[in-house]
Amino acid sequence: MNRLADTVPILDWGRRYSRATMTNDMVAAIIVTIMLIPQSLAYAMLAGLPAEVGLYASILPLVAYAVFGTSRTLAVGPVAVVSLMTASAIGEVATQGTPAYLAAAMLLAFLSGAMLMLMGLFRLGFIANFLSHPVISGFITASGLLIAAGQLKYLFGVSGGGHTLPQIIGGLVENIGSTNSATLAIGTSVLAFLYFARLRLKPMLLAIGLKPRTADIATKAGPVVAVAATILAVSAFDLGAQGVVLVGVIPQGLPIPALPVFDLELIRALAVPALLISLIGFVESVSIAQTLAAKRRQRIVLDQELIGIGAANLASAISSGYPVTGGFARSVVNFDAGAETPAAGIYTAIGIALAALFLTPLLANLPQATLAATIIVAVLSLVNFAVIRSVWTYSKVDFSTMAATILGTLFLGVEIGVVMGVVLSLLLHLYRTSRPHMAVVGQVPGTEHFRNIDRHQVETSPNILSIRVDESLYFANSRYLEDRIGTLVAERPQIQHVVLMCSAVNMIDASALDSLEEINKRLKDASIALHLSEVKGPVLDRVKRSRFLDNLTGQVFLSQYEAICHLTRSNTELG
């Protein structure tokens, strides 16, 4: 593969594209298109945007990802969590329903795309590592709950709003009296049908002889059936006149490419949300892409994925869209339906474009309650209480970051929730590594092994203190090292040698080196020699760049055994 094909993967798979592959991709694309139409409309509504924006965000972004992405089967477009984050971010700077709101959504997509692109070009993908799994899964669960709660107002046909659980529930309780019964009937019917489709339809289809894969895909068509059925019901019984809120007239046609308006103050206000959307969207997308790629032993290139998702967002920004990323359900459908190359994404884009051109008039009578029910069923699969329990069992530290993220997201807002989780996990990580495990070790009799004196029957020498440090030494734990060695030495007045066993030390940074120098100096003042043992090659190479070894009062021994032999021998000679 040449370098250009690394950056533009389409050049690689495109030149080997065959007719058979094309047929497979097209079949997959048709199925994904059918699934994506109601999803696009629903997620646009969730983001507080006009329904057509969802379709616009499902055309050019798919083409851009097909050109630049490395996953063969990832299906990008509007997704639930990013739509929620979009609503939260632009709800702060513009009023829903105004042109400014749409403009902010485009700018947000642009910022997010530009950030992802830059991270990809400068290989900064590691920034996504700030998001630990407990923070992400906590955030997704909380988002799912928040989204589902937020859709209830459409199901009841009442007004309401808010970006936190108390606001949403408060608004709902306040307005529940004015529930529209026709809307509620549609909403609950669709909800019941979708749950039936999800839980019971597949076994029934299998029973009548469908292949498992076909049955699986047919099951996913539930929302399309619901959309069609409720449009027909509205038209037949004129439910619009009975107060059922409908999607209404959707402009027919394709988005006119245009750059978003760059307002410096708006950019400042949207920068942090854009970064969070980029990272969350990227992390989610990559995990789907990697899971699917592994099944066929294919590779996902992380830095190139940043460029791929970034390009999709820039494409969304210039086609009146909003932030997009890889979606889980649709990618799995795409994969299962037999998509082999990103060309399937291009065919899907063509399908959505045709829908935007010709299908939109049919959607005017679609009740918002139908879309709300679709969203609720989709996002409740994001809510995963089992994960919360297993993290609780596994580690209280990880659980606390998850809990902070969930509570922060539900009660203070999505951005604060994520930031709280990230800050807390960094703090706790620092706390955890700031007190590395250190063991005073002694020799296992008759062997060359050294073990913790508190756990094993070992031999020690009265004037030698051997300490094993089970962690790399860096700024977060260097002060603890100073402090701990000071304490251990103060407790043992007869000590003349301290041996630091460095078998688990993979790195010594400048702070830790300073601390070692300080320890050496302090021990010297107390007439104690400091020795090192089992220092790894690369660590020792680096230490040799400094003057530490020149001032070291003791020696560097290859093994702890050698250290003890040497020091005991010199003791005996002196004695």
Interacting residues with a second copy between 393 and 412 (CB under 8 A): 393-395, 397-399
* Residue 496 sits in the site that holds a second copy (CB under 8 A): no
Residues facing residue 441 across a β-bridge? 452
Q: Which of residues 159-218 bind a second copy (CB under 8 A)?
A: none
Q: What part of residues 462-481 is at the interface with a second copy (CB under 8 A)?
A: 470-472, 474-480
CB of 119 to a second copy, least distance (A): 12
Q: At a CB cut-off of 8 Å and minimum separation 6, what does 428 contact?
A: 397, 400, 401
C-beta of 194: minimal distance to a second copy in Å? 28
Interface with a second copy, residue 122, by CB under 8 A:
no
Identify which of residues 177 and 537 has a Cβ nearer to a second copy in the complex: 537
| Contact criterion met (CB below 8 Å) for 317 and 109 | yes
**24, 31 contact by CB (below 8 A):** no
Q: State which residue, 492 or 566, has the beta carbon closest to a second copy.
A: 492
Of the pair 141, 360, the CB lying nearest a second copy is at 141
Per rule CB under 8 A, is residue 129 in the interface with a second copy? Answer: yes
Given the complex with a second copy, which of 227 and 286 has the nearer CB atom?
286
In the shown chain, the binding pattern of residues 331 to 370 toward a second copy, with x for contact by CB under 8 A and - for none, equals ----------------------------------------
Supply 5's token pair: 């094909």
Distance separating alpha carbons of residues 382 and 406, to the nearest angstrom:
13
d(Cα 78, Cα 325) in Å, to the nearest integer? Answer: 7
Q: Pick from 22, 30, 128, 407 the residue near a second copy by CB under 8 A.
A: 128
Number of residues that bind a second copy (CB under 8 A): 75
How far is Cα 79 from Cα 396, in angstroms, rounded to an integer? 31
Query: Applying CB under 8 A, does 390 fall inside the site for a second copy?
Result: yes
Q: How far apart are CA 41 and CA 368, in angstroms?
A: 10
Contact segment (CB under 8 A) with a second copy among 142-150, 175-183, 242-250, 296-304 equals 296-304
d(CA 430, CA 475): 10
With binding defined as CB under 8 A, does residue 291 bind a second copy?
Answer: yes
Q: Which residues of 403-441 are buried (b: 16+ CB within 10 A; e: fewer)?
A: bbbbbbbbebbbbebbbbbbebbeebeeeeebebebbeb
The three-point CA angle 152-153-156 to 5° equals: 90
> Where in 302-321 is the site for a second copy (CB under 8 A)?
302
DSSP for 373-386 reads: HHHHHHHHTT--HH
6 scored as a contact of a second copy (CB under 8 A): no
54-113 positions binding a second copy, by CB under 8 A:
none
Handedness of CA 297, 137, 199, 370 (dihedral sign): negative
Which of 192/507 has CB closer to a second copy? 507
Minimum distance of a second copy from residue 447's CB (angstroms):
14
CA distance 367 to 230: 7
**Any idea how long the chain is?**
575
* CB 541 to a second copy: min, Å: 11
295: contact with a second copy by CB under 8 A: yes
Beta bridge partners of 540: none
CB of 251 to a second copy, least distance (A): 42
Give the nearest distance from C-beta 308 to a second copy in angstroms: 16
10 Å Cβ neighbour count for 201? 19
Partner residues linked to 442 by β-bridges: 451
- Positive or negative, the Cα torsion across 113, 292, 26, 229? negative
- Rounded least distance, CB 564 to a second copy, Å: 21
State the Cα–Cα distance between residues 144 and 379, nearest whole angstrom. 5
Strands 497-501 and 450-452: unpaired
| Nearest distance, CB of residue 246 and a second copy, angstroms | 43
Q: Does 118 bind a second copy (CB under 8 A)?
A: no
Interacting residue with a second copy among 148, 324, 329, 391 (CB under 8 A): 391
Closest CA to 371 of 224, 234, 242, 254: 224
Binding positions for a second copy, 516-545, rule CB under 8 A: 518, 521-522, 525-526, 538, 542, 545
Among 121, 294, 357, 558, binds a second copy (CB under 8 A): 294
Shortest distance, CB of residue 295 to a second copy, whole angstroms? 5
Which of 242, 453, 486, 488 forms a contact with a second copy (CB under 8 A)? Answer: 486
Name which of residues 425 to 444 contact a second copy (CB under 8 A).
425-427, 429-432, 434-437
By CB under 8 A, which span of 155-163, 201-209, 363-371, 506-514 interacts with a second copy?
506-514
Packing angle of the helix pair 212-220, 328-336 (nearest 10 deg): 150
